[in-house]
């Protein structure tokens, strides 16, 4: 695998990554050499090796290979004097290569025709990226086509308008294609562009986030498509609707202000949601915003973020020695690969190469790298719109996301339904089919049944350090409900759940997956806690309330090809096997890190826990006290926390020994205590 580049590092310009634009060009060169190697005679198909997608089939995969590798080319040709891309060793006549493939693929009488579009067909998706490429490479390809050749390409692209698209980010594909056609001076549909623009506009929630057209589906598609495609439209056609242009650009600015906090010091961002194999595409929107002069992120920080993200995946071995992208996230994990993904799909990562829209002299490339937010200080951020809490730990550089609200596609519950996703401890989507699929998750298990999943949680409320949600573990049983409260503290968190059901169930809950590639982890169990450790990394859980037994990590053996970062994984957990009368409150402390720690010390992170009816009070090791009560039976309270009165219908309160803190009341108003 390609894990190290030959380009020398420059730690003066890039003290955090060592990367310059030359490193990006070296990655580009490996991708394009593989593209040429696996191209069909007419260049319309790029037949990368690997298993075909289970839904689309090989022809669609080959089309993806052509279109998605063009993402590495188009931005480099924009503003270039030549259609040839020069590498540190060799060159690639990109204009000639992709021109030939464009004409072969759009020729309905040729042997490499891409095929006609259909309702909700993958070609609709690829058409938008192809239109972008045509615009970026206009001076080198489009402007040099004959009228007949242009008409042939237009006939294929124009098919997008009559056909139905999925009501999600796919609506923007029609927006992009028609915007490009309009500004090429060719026939286009104003109606289709405006109609689909309005639909996508309706996906906006708040805090800079769009849902993906479903019932609260929030994921990295905000960075892959939803923001970038609107920004692309705003560049081409924004003058036609200045008010909408300003609106989508302001949303992008708002998104990027907090999105930069998703990136860890090691370059990763927490893996969750679908299309994980798009990898460093998650960082591309920063360069596009910089190109449009709307970015709230300093150029040196934007490059540090983007270079760090691409470097992370390169050094993790996601590019083979022959230049092909592996069809996975980091390691083989079948459940991490979506049914619509094939060998050409990972090249969607090329959206990071929107950075090549910026000339060599741009501050994005010339400014000294600036630290990421997590490299400056620890933080806790609340994003009520997508129902996400973000926790960054300066000492370790780790970033965690906590989900209070997200929808999911069938079979993707472990990609969306976990309470926590980490940059350093990969999730276990392959756990779905196992007896204990409890990684960062609470499950109910009836005798002889499978553990339940966290389906479509409803967001209740949140502050920067607290979030509450509710879900039905059995979708057809409205009388079985779990209300969950998550409390962030330092670099760990605690969870309390109120489980209401008349069913006879065992409750299981797990912590972070400890991933490893070889050897055997050490597993230890104690009174109310479980711990596992391997090569300095560890995962720990401690019962805080309600549980009566442990689930030792690896109780069913190490799980192979379940984790997105490592070959094997094990998960420590707790369980409640004794029955309860209608409802019960259970609580868990969850910690995982690469810092040295011992279970005896980790147990002391929480000093006291008191469950009183519908409420819970906790005292942490440093003396900070927190209070929360479940919202299904919210009542007036009159208590003191570290000498400060807490009164009224309070959902959550936390007070430090100094008396400083905050209170969240029923009306979801936060009152600060100074």
Give yes or no: residues 572 and 458 share one domain.
Answer: yes
pLDDT, tens digit, 9 for 90 and up, residues 204-221: 999 999 999 866 789 999
Lowest mean pLDDT, pick from 52-56, 81-85, 196-200 = 52-56
3-state secondary structure of 279: helix
Give yes or no: residues 99 and 54 share one domain.
Answer: yes
Residue 126 lies in a domain: yes
> In the numeric block, which tokens belong to residue 635?
């009542």
Burial class (CB in 10 A: 0-12, 13-18, 19+), 599: middle
**Proportion of the chain in helix, strand, coil states, percent, rounded to 5:** 35, 25, 45
| Of the candidates 608, 393, 607, 423, the residue with the CA atom closest to the CA atom of residue 490 | 393
Give yes or no: residues 369 and 394 share one domain.
Answer: no
Residue 643 lies in a domain: no
Burial class (CB in 10 A: 0-12, 13-18, 19+), 433: exposed
Identify whether the C-beta of residue 563 lies closer than 8 Å to the C-beta of residue 427: yes
Give yes or no: residues 207 and 73 share one domain.
Answer: yes
Give yes or no: residues 316 and 432 share one domain.
Answer: no
Residue 202 lies in a domain: yes
Q: Which residues contact 175 (CB under 8 A, 6 or more apart)?
A: 193, 196, 197, 200, 229, 230, 233
Residue 541 half-sphere exposure toward CB, CA atoms < 13 A: 33
* H helix runs in 400-466, sequence order: 413-416
Beta carbons within 10 angstroms of residue 90's beta carbon: 10
pLDDT, tens digit, 9 for 90 and up, residues 427-440: 999 876 677 789 99
Give yes or no: residues 366 and 491 share one domain.
Answer: no
* Mean per-residue pLDDT of the chain: 96
Beta carbons within 10 angstroms of residue 170's beta carbon: 20
Q: What is the pLDDT of residue 411?
A: 76
Q: What is the pLDDT of residue 432?
A: 67
Give yes or no: residues 143 and 198 share one domain.
Answer: yes
Q: Which residues contact 317 (CB under 8 A, 6 or more apart)?
A: 1, 2, 3, 326, 330
CATH of the domain at 92: 1.50.10.10
pLDDT, tens digit, 9 for 90 and up, residues 77-109: 999 999 999 987 789 999 999 999 999 999 999
pLDDT, tens digit, 9 for 90 and up, residues 491-543: 999 999 999 999 999 999 999 999 999 999 999 999 999 999 999 999 999 99
Handedness of CA 169, 171, 177, 182 (dihedral sign): negative
pTM of the predicted model as reported, rounded to 2 decimal places? 0.97
Residues 225-243: what's their mean pLDDT?
98
Residue 74 lies in a domain: yes
> In the numeric block, which tokens belong to residue 422?
């980490």
Give yes or no: residues 381 and 365 share one domain.
Answer: no
Residue identified by tokens 């589906």 is 217
What is the distance between the alpha carbons of residues 355 and 643, in angstroms, rounded to a whole number?
A: 54
Residues in the chain: 674
Residues 23-38: what's their mean pLDDT?
97
What is the distance between the alpha carbons of residues 434 and 440, in angstroms, rounded to a whole number?
A: 15
What is the distance between the alpha carbons of residues 27 and 623, in angstroms, rounded to a whole number?
A: 50
3-state secondary structure of 217: coil
Among residues 567, 598, 629, the one where a domain terminates is 598
- Cα of first residue to Cα of last residue in the chain, in angstroms, is 55
Among residues 339, 373, 407, the one where a domain terminates is 373
Residue 477 lies in a domain: yes
Residue identified by tokens 């009152």 is 671
What is the distance between the alpha carbons of residues 554 and 560, in angstroms, rounded to a whole number?
A: 11
Give yes or no: residues 531 and 447 share one domain.
Answer: yes
Q: What is the pLDDT of residue 26?
A: 97
Residue 328 lies in a domain: yes
- C-alpha 499, offset from chain centre: 29
Instruction: Tell me which H or E stretch contains 250.
Output: helix 242-259
Q: What is the pLDDT of residue 215?
A: 66
pLDDT, tens digit, 9 for 90 and up, residues 19-29: 999 999 999 99
Give yes or no: residues 365 and 425 share one domain.
Answer: no
Give yes or no: residues 498 and 562 share one domain.
Answer: yes
Q: What is the pLDDT of residue 556?
A: 86
Backbone angles phi, psi at 237, to 5 degrees: -125, 10
| Of the candidates 596, 638, 592, 591, the residue with the CA atom closest to the CA atom of residue 615 | 638
Residue 532 lies in a domain: yes
Beta carbons within 10 angstroms of residue 647's beta carbon: 13
Q: What is the pLDDT of residue 406?
A: 81
Q: How would you write 153-199 as a 3-class SS string? A: HHHHHHHHCCCCCCCCCCHHHHHHHHHHHHHCCCCCCHHHHHHHHHH
Q: How would you write 612-647 as a 3-class SS string? A: ECCEEEEEECCCCEEEEECHHHCCCEEEEECCEEEE
Owning domain of residue 51: 21-373
CATH of the domain at 399: 2.70.98.70
Beta carbons within 10 angstroms of residue 198's beta carbon: 12
What is the distance between the alpha carbons of residues 153 and 101, in angstroms, rounded to a whole number?
A: 11
Among residues 351, 373, 395, the one where a domain terminates is 373
Residue 649 lies in a domain: no
Long-range residue pairs from 178-186, CB within 8 A, at least 24 positions apart, any chain: 179/131, 179/232, 179/233, 179/236, 179/237, 180/131, 180/132, 180/134, 180/135, 180/236, 181/131, 181/154, 181/157, 182/236, 182/237, 183/135, 183/236, 183/237, 184/134, 184/135, 184/138, 184/142, 186/150, 186/154
Identify whether the C-beta of residue 135 lies closer than 8 Å to the C-beta of residue 160: no
Domain count, the chain: 2
Using pLDDT thresholds of 50, 70 and 90, give the confidence band for residue 128.
very high
Give yes or no: residues 201 and 160 share one domain.
Answer: yes
């Amino acid at each position: 695998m390609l894990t190290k580049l030959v380009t020398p590092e420059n730690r003066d310009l890039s003290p955090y990554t060592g990367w310059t634009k030359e490193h990006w060009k070296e990655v580009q060169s490996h991708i394009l050499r593989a593209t040429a190697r696996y191209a069909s005679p007419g260049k319309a198909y790029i037949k990368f090796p690997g298993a075909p997608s289970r839904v689309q089939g090989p022809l669609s995969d080959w089309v993806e290979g052509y279109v998605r590798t063009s993402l590495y080319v188009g931005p480099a040709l924009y503003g270039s004097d030549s259609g040839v891309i020069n590498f540190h060793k060799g060159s690639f006549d990109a204009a000639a290569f992709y021109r030939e493939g464009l004409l072969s693929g759009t020729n309905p009488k040729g042997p490499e025709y891409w095929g006609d579009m259909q309702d909700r067909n993958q070609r609709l998706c690829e058409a938008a990226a192809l239109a972008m490429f045509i615009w970026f490479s206009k001076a080198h390809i489009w402007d040099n086509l004959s009228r007949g050749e242009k008409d042939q390409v237009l006939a294929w692209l124009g098919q997008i308008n009559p056909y139905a698209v999925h009501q999600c980010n796919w609506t923007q594909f029609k927006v992009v294609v028609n915007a490009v056609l309009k500004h090429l001076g060719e026939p286009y549909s104003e109606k289709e562009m405006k109609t689909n623009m309005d639909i996508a506009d309706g996906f906006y929630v708040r805090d800079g986030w769009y849902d993906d057209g479903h019932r609260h589906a929030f994921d990295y598609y905000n960075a892959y498509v939803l923001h970038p495609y609107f920004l692309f439209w705003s560049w081409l056609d924004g003058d036609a609707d200045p008010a909408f242009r300003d609106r989508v650009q302001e949303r992008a600015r708002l998104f990027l202000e907090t999105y930069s906090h998703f990136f860890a010091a090691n370059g990763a961002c927490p893996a969750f949601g679908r299309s994980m194999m798009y990898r460093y595409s998650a960082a591309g929107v920063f360069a596009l915003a910089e190109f449009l002069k709307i970015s709230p992120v300093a150029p040196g920080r934007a490059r540090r973020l983007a270079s760090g993200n691409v470097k992370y995946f390169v050094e993790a071995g996601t590019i083979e020695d022959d230049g092909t992208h592996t069809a996975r996230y980091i390691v083989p994990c079948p459940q991490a690969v979506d049914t619509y993904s094939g060998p050409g799909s990972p090249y969607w990562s090329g959206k990071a190469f929107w950075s090549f829209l910026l000339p060599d002299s741009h501050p994005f490339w010339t400014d000294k790298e600036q630290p990421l937010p997590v490299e400056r200080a620890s933080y806790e951020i609340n994003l009520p719109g997508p129902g996400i809490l973000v926790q960054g730990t300066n000492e370790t550089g780790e970033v965690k996301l906590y989900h209070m609200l997200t929808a999911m596609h069938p079979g993707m519950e472990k990609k969306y339904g976990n309470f926590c996703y980490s940059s350093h401890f990969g999730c276990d989507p392959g756990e779905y089919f196992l007896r204990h699929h409890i990684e960062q998750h609470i499950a109910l298990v009836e005798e002889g049944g499978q553990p339940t999943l966290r389906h479509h949680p409803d967001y209740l409320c949140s502050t920067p350090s607290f979030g509450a949600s509710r879900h039905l573990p059995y979708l057809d049983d409205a009388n079985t409900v779990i209300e969950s409260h998550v409390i962030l503290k330092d670099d760990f968190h605690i969870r309390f759940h109120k489980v209401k059901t008349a069913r006879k169930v065992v409750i299981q809950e797990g912590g972070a997956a400890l991933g490893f590639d070889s050897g055997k982890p050490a597993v230890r169990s104690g009174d109310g806690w479980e711990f596992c450790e391997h090569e300095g990394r560890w995962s720990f859980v401690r019962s805080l309330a309600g549980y009566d037994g442990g689930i030792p990590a690896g109780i069913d053996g190490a799980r192979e090809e379940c984790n997105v970062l490592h070959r094997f994984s094990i998960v420590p957990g707790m369980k409640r096997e004794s029955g309860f009368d209608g409802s019960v409150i259970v609580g868990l402390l969850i910690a995982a890190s690469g810092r040295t720690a011992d279970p005896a010390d980790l147990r002391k992170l929480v000093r006291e826990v008191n469950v009183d009816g519908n409420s819970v009070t906790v005292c942490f090791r440093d003396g900070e006290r927190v209070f929360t009560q479940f919202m299904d039976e919210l009542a007036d309270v009159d208590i003191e926390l570290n000498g400060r009165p807490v009164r009224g219908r309070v959902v959550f309160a936390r007070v430090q020994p100094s008396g400083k803190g905050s209170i969240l009341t029923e009306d979801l108003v936060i009152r600060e205590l100074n």
